[in-house]
Structure 1
Amino acid sequence: MPVHLPLPKQLRDLLADLLGREVSLEPAPPYAPGPDTPASVAVYVDDSLRISALIACDLAFSAYAGAALGLVPPGGAQAAVDDGKLTDTLSENLYEVLNIAASMFNVAGADHLRLHALHPAGPPLDPQLRISTLTLGRREDLRVEVGGYGAGSLSIVLL
């Protein structure tokens, strides 16, 4: 079965409901984390544990979404961006956001996916995982503004 590529409206609605804030999206160039770029990558697997999709987020989106979910003040999110890595609290909150985001893939007639792992922004990404984020084809690349926090990049990549 194919994997469903979530539509931007699905992502916007999910984030707005989950974070309880205004969320706006606009198309963006493909997000391509470099070897020295802090990025969070969520790995989604099917029922056979085959990696089927990734959501890659830059440090800004990672911090803002994690902070908004946990009601962390914007200054706390900005401090993580300035430090170049997420705190444990922001990482745990981002995990929750991206775990719930798995629901966007699960529509009738598509493979069932679940969050297998989150590699939070900070430590270097595994090179193979980083290369996978560059996959062309079925993907959605967005600039996401989280009301009261700021904007960051997010890419949904089907493998």
Structure 2
Amino acid sequence: MLPGRKEIKDLFEGLLGREIAITDGLPVDIGIPKPVVASYVDDYGHLRAVAVMSFGLAARSGAALALIPKGAVEAAEEDRVLPPNLFENAYEICNVLAAPFGDAMGEHLRLADAYPPSSPVPANLLSIAAQVAAREDVDLEITGYGTGSLSLVVAA
């Protein structure tokens, strides 16, 4: 019911045009700095899945997508503020993640919303993100930009 690591790796490599190393990870921490949280719904509008992208992965993948120098990532991490351009790029990555989620679940899913680190996240999404079952937690190392974490969780 979850995309495999190969699909995750292929998606990030295809979007970013960089080699990605994918390894076991821990659930993304929803503390400070806050992550990007995305929700996915089916064609009936039912919540089906949640993705949690660590602040570091959002900044790194957002920068890599637009070929923004790594210094922008370092500045964002130091300030603990994800600039709008990096969030917009992370949002687009979350949007594209709907396809492998839907393929794995055997239904069409679409991105309902993605919340930047500066915005409150609905409690029901945080509850799903904390579930122990039906989840995949990985670390992604983006060549030239560094490592960040991703958690994919099926809504029970």
TM-score class normalised by the smaller sequence: over 0.9
- Aligned residue pairs, count: 155
- Structure 2 regions of 5+ residues with no counterpart? none
Q: Percent identity, aligned pairs only?
A: 38
Question: After the TM superposition, which residues 144-159 of structure 1 pair with which residues of structure 2 at under 5 Å, given as runs?
Answer: 144-159=140-155
2:74 matched residue in structure 1: 78
- Structure 1 regions of 5+ residues with no counterpart? none
- Secondary structure of the equivalent of 2:150? strand
Question: After the TM superposition, which residues 1-159 of structure 1 pair with which residues of structure 2 at under 5 Å, given as runs?
Answer: 4-34=1-31, 36-107=32-103, 110-159=106-155
CA–CA distance in structure 1, aligned partners of residues 130 and 105 of structure 2: 26
Shift of residue 83 of structure 1? 1.4
Letter in 2 for 1:12: K
Q: Residues 48, 37 of structure 1: CA spacing in aligned structure 2 closer, same or farther, 3 A cutoff?
A: same
Q: Residues 153, 117 of structure 1: CA spacing in aligned structure 2 closer, same or farther, 3 A cutoff?
A: same
Shift of residue 97 of structure 1? 1.0
Alpha carbons 2:40, 2:111 under 8 Å: kept: yes
CA–CA distance in structure 2, aligned partners of residues 106 and 126 of structure 1: 22
TM value normalised by structure 2 = 0.92
Shift of residue 124 of structure 1? 4.0
Letter in 1 for 2:77: V
CA–CA distance in structure 2, aligned partners of residues 136 and 111 of structure 1: 23
CA RMSD in angstroms comes to 1.6
Higher helix share: 2
Q: Deviations over 1:41-95 (max 9, x none)?
A: 0111111111110110111001001111111110011211111121110111111
Alpha carbons 1:84, 1:122 under 8 Å: kept: no
CA–CA distance in structure 2, aligned partners of residues 89 and 77 of structure 1: 11
CA–CA distance in structure 1, aligned partners of residues 119 and 98 of structure 2: 23
Shift of residue 147 of structure 1? 0.9
